[in-house]
A and B are shown apart, each in its own frame.
Chain A
Amino acid sequence: MSISADELAAIRASFQRLLAERGTEADVRRAIASPEGYDAALWRGIGDLGLAGLIAPVADGGAGGGAVELELLMEDAGAALLCAPFLSSVVIAGGLVAGGDDAEDRARLLPRLISGAAVGAVALTGEAGLWTPQDITVRAAEGRLTGVASYVLFGAQADVLLAAAWDAEGPAVYEVAAGATGLTITPLKTFDLTQPMAKIAFEGVEARRIAGPEALARTLDLGRIALAGEQAGAARRIFEITLDYLRTRVQFGRPIGGFQAMKHMAADLLIEVENATSAARHAASAVAQGAPNAQVMVNLAAFACADAFSQTAATAVQMHGGIAFTWDHPAHLYLRRARADARLFGASDLYRDRYLAALEAVDA
């Protein structure tokens, strides 16, 4: 690890400052109504702070951070409902390019991703949206891709477009030019307003292989940790917003937080929020240390954080009552993000099963 504890604290403080100044609820609302579909100014700010290079190797011009640093920053990103392609571009696309085999590809693509000048997107799943290798329907043959991918984060905004595609080795990673012939990118109307998605059809699109199955698997684990951190941070923030309301909203002559019905819901949510934070952070350190139970921890974090954020955001609406049924209240923005995040790399059921399989493997 090349980032010291002091450096990490400074990086995190600068990110938090940026989010406090330019990632407010008003900024989120402006971003989701914008033609870009994300907060371009905030994304530039992230680039200016050098954060788009957080996990890129130092040799490639990045900061050399790993899972632990990434997870912590994602907690802040989640809390603010970050409307920028951090997960898509910095974590997945950047991770795949950095993990790729070819020095020329790295030299060509990484500087633009690290500076934030380019938005990276990666097509990872098919139209069934299961995020399993079997669900990848794109095939690579003779340097061309054919098939359909969907639910591609920032697919319509991408400058650097990658796709998981089957070749002789398994699911590998290919790069296609954003305006290539045979490529049809259709923006999707999504329930979550903060993360744009697209469907992408490949009809014999010229493509260049940049990474193999191992780099894909490794990067997806990093993506799961980043997402878990985002969920943990977002769950905590909507929980805090709810607590503030419980302390200040007066009915029947007293703050509603004084009623046991509310207290008991709040106490149960605190367990969920703390579970999510513990799961995300332990998964990050297990992967960073190459611990033997890393797969157990990554899969645990994947469903525990998804479920915690979903439950916290959903319950927060109920606890607020009528005010959270209005568009102007932020609770639904968290609920929408929670529901998208809970399926982004596959559903909780998938990860529960994989967690059990990983435990069986560790036990055996």
Chain B
Amino acid sequence: MRDEDLIAEVRAFLNTHWDAKKKRPKAGGGAKEFRHRVLEAGFAVPSWTAEWFGRNLAADQARLIEREFAAVAAYGAGQDKTNLFANTILAAGTDALKREVLQGLLTSEIDSCLLYSEPGAGSDLAAVRTRADRTADGWVVQGQKVWTSGARTAQYALLLARTDWDVPKHQGLSFFYMPMKQPGVDVRPLHQITGDSHFNEVFLDGAVVPEANLLGNENGGWKVLQTALAYERLVMGEGAGERRQGSGKDNRKSLIQMARSAGRLGDPVLRQKIAQALAYRQLNDLNLARAKAEMAQGTASPIMSLGKLAMSRILHGDAAVMADILGAASLLDGEENPESADMNYRALNAYMTSIGGGTDQIQRNIIAERVLGLPREIEVDRDLPFRDSRAVKG
């Protein structure tokens, strides 16, 4: 298919179904209906096969569709790049599971959450102790998870659990897509440093996962997890972590505007700090643009793995410069001091990006090992049966 034919087709589709001025589906169609149309047209996951809602398009053509959607602020396209749940299930799910959930995932009718971290397994994720045991009725799960966003509304979860305790830690893990709405799943909100309760603790006591919901091979979970993690970090590197949860607030409020209204845009020291903060953000955008261009030409780009680490510096840095602009007012908080409250929130919420999804320090290890080819970390429990490791024995 020629590029111009594809673009014409996408534009015709959007003309028919999307109101570009009001940025919503045209009269008579709701968001759900629009997402179904996007899926039926093959625009949701264009690089996937026709069997699974795709059109077998090459990456560069798939991006053309995305660009057309982005130009009119329409949603639903480009999920072959961003929807970590759908991508993980496409890559590792059974056909039965794909038939059950892929459509719902791609039309946003199914919400999912991540059950990875545990109180005893943070950076060392392979040390999880939540267990899944195979029974005649499916896998029975016992354990405790933490740092789960969206757990209260999710119908499903990607679950990392131990299925063999007698092999080294990476080799005894399995990955599941677990139904959340069942007895044995207890979700409790976690009170965060920002005052929000975006994350939850999830207690699992006899929850059941159907056999068809095992992703990849039994005890092959670590490998499947890497696919899901890569999507998550990619999305965080593009700045998704800075969207304030539960509000439509735009976090990219210009530092220039803020300094101008404080009457301090002429302060030469502040100007240096503002320029550097804006530069880090712009440089990250330029890096992502270059990486996408390189990948569209079929060249693998190491830059994509840098985004999350770069974004940490950007978010912490933005908040620090804002505090400098506000001066003594940065000591205040609350609704009567909205600028200070916003800055304080950002200063604390920046840790979500520098800790969540792998801390900056873990990210640096990953970049050094996988991108730069430096020697792997020495792990004293790497070859030890998990049962004998300090994660279990203390």
Residues of A within 8 A of B (CB): 243, 246-247, 254-255, 257-258, 260, 262-264, 266-268, 270-271, 274-275, 277-279, 281-282, 300, 303-304, 349, 352-353, 355-356, 359-360, 363
Please determine whether B283 and A278 come into contact, CB atoms closer than 8 angstroms: yes
Instruction: Check if B16 is an interface residue, CB within 8 A of chain A.
Output: no
**27 examples of A-B residue contacts, CB within 8 angstroms:** A243-B374, A247-B375, A255-B374, A260-B364, A260-B377, A263-B365, A263-B367, A264-B364, A266-B372, A267-B368, A267-B372, A268-B364, A270-B371, A270-B372, A274-B287, A274-B302, A275-B283, A275-B286, A278-B286, A278-B287, A282-B289, A300-B283, A352-B272, A352-B275, A355-B279, A359-B256, A363-B254
- Knowing that A260-B365, A270-B306, A359-B275 are A-B contacts, what are 4 other residue pairs whose CB atoms are under 8 Å apart, sorted by A's residue number? A258-B376, A263-B365, A270-B371, A352-B279
Name the interface residues of B314-359: CB closer than 8 Å to any CB of A: none
Assembly CA distance A80 to B195 (angstroms): 54
Please determine whether A247 and B373 come into contact, CB atoms closer than 8 angstroms: yes
Given contacts A267-B309, A355-B279, contact A277 B290 (CB under 8 A): yes
In the assembled complex, which residues on chain B have CB atoms less than 8 Å from the CB atom of A271?
Answer: 306, 309-310
In the assembled complex, which residues on chain A have CB atoms less than 8 Å from the CB atom of B368?
Answer: 257, 262-264, 266-267
Q: Of B287, B369, B372, which is within 8 A of A275 by CB?
A: B287
In the assembled complex, which residues on chain B have CB atoms less than 8 Å from the CB atom of A266?
Answer: 367-368, 372, 374
Please determine whether A262 and B306 come into contact, CB atoms closer than 8 angstroms: no
In the assembled complex, which residues on chain A have CB atoms less than 8 Å from the CB atom of B376?
Answer: 258
Name the interface residues of B279-321: CB closer than 8 Å to any CB of A: 279, 282-283, 286-287, 289-290, 302-303, 306, 309-310
Of all chain A residues, the one with the shortest Cβ separation from B366 is A267
Main secondary structure of the interface of A (DSSP, over half): helix
Of all chain A residues, the one with the shortest Cβ separation from B313 is A271
In the assembled complex, which residues on chain B have CB atoms less than 8 Å from the CB atom of A359?
Answer: 256, 275, 278
Please determine whether A274 and B275 come into contact, CB atoms closer than 8 angstroms: no
How distant is B142 from chain A, measured CB to nearest CB, in Å? 34
Please determine whether A262 and B276 come into contact, CB atoms closer than 8 angstroms: no
How distant is B201 from chain A, measured CB to nearest CB, in Å? 30
Of all chain B residues, the one with the shortest Cβ separation from A276 is B283
Assembly CA distance A246 to B373 (angstroms): 10
Please determine whether B375 and A258 come into contact, CB atoms closer than 8 angstroms: yes
Assembly CA distance A321 to B275 (angstroms): 33
Instruction: Check if B268 is an interface residue, CB within 8 A of chain A.
Output: yes
Assembly CA distance A352 to B276 (angstroms): 7
In the assembled complex, which residues on chain A have CB atoms less than 8 Å from the CB atom of B303?
Answer: 274
Main secondary structure of the interface of B (DSSP, over half): helix
Q: Of A257, A268, A356, which is within 8 A of B256 by CB?
A: A356
Mask: chain B, 357-394; 1 = CB below 8 Å from A; 0 = not = 00001011101110111111110000000000000000
Residues of B within 8 A of A (CB): 254, 256, 265, 268, 271-272, 274-276, 278-279, 282-283, 286-287, 289-290, 302-303, 306, 309-310, 361, 363-365, 367-369, 371-378
How distant is A309 from chain B, measured CB to nearest CB, in Å? 14
Please determine whether A356 and B278 come into contact, CB atoms closer than 8 angstroms: yes
Please determine whether A300 and B290 come into contact, CB atoms closer than 8 angstroms: no
Assembly CA distance A268 to B371 (angstroms): 12
In the assembled complex, which residues on chain A have CB atoms less than 8 Å from the CB atom of B367?
Answer: 263, 266-267, 270
- Identify the 4 closest CB pairs spanning chains A and B, nearest first: A263-B368, A258-B375, A257-B374, A267-B364
Please determine whether A363 and B290 come into contact, CB atoms closer than 8 angstroms: no
In the assembled complex, which residues on chain B have CB atoms less than 8 Å from the CB atom of A349?
Answer: 272
In the assembled complex, which residues on chain B have CB atoms less than 8 Å from the CB atom of A258?
Answer: 374-378
Assembly CA distance A267 to B373 (angstroms): 11
How distant is B302 from chain A, measured CB to nearest CB, in Å? 7
Between A262, A274, A352, A355, the greatest number of chain B beta carbons within 10 A of the residue's beta carbon is seen for: A274
In the assembled complex, which residues on chain B have CB atoms less than 8 Å from the CB atom of A352?
Answer: 271-272, 275-276, 279
Assembly CA distance A271 to B288 (angstroms): 12
In the assembled complex, which residues on chain A have CB atoms less than 8 Å from the CB atom of B286?
Answer: 275, 278-279, 282
How distant is A277 from chain B, measured CB to nearest CB, in Å? 7
In the assembled complex, which residues on chain A have CB atoms less than 8 Å from the CB atom of B369?
Answer: 263
Given contacts A277-B290, A303-B279, A352-B279, contact A363 B363 (CB under 8 A): no
Assembly CA distance A356 to B275 (angstroms): 5
Assembly CA distance A196 to B287 (angstroms): 34
Of all chain B residues, the one with the shortest Cβ separation from A299 is B275
Assembly CA distance A300 to B286 (angstroms): 11
Between A267, A281, A282, the greatest number of chain B beta carbons within 10 A of the residue's beta carbon is seen for: A267
Assembly CA distance A353 to B273 (angstroms): 10
Given contacts A254-B375, A262-B374, contact A267 B363 (CB under 8 A): yes
In the assembled complex, which residues on chain B have CB atoms less than 8 Å from the CB atom of A264?
Answer: 361, 364-365, 368
Of all chain B residues, the one with the shortest Cβ separation from A360 is B256
Assembly CA distance A254 to B375 (angstroms): 9
In the assembled complex, which residues on chain A have CB atoms less than 8 Å from the CB atom of B364?
Answer: 260, 263-264, 267-268
How distant is A132 from chain B, measured CB to nearest CB, in Å? 15
Assembly CA distance A264 to B364 (angstroms): 5
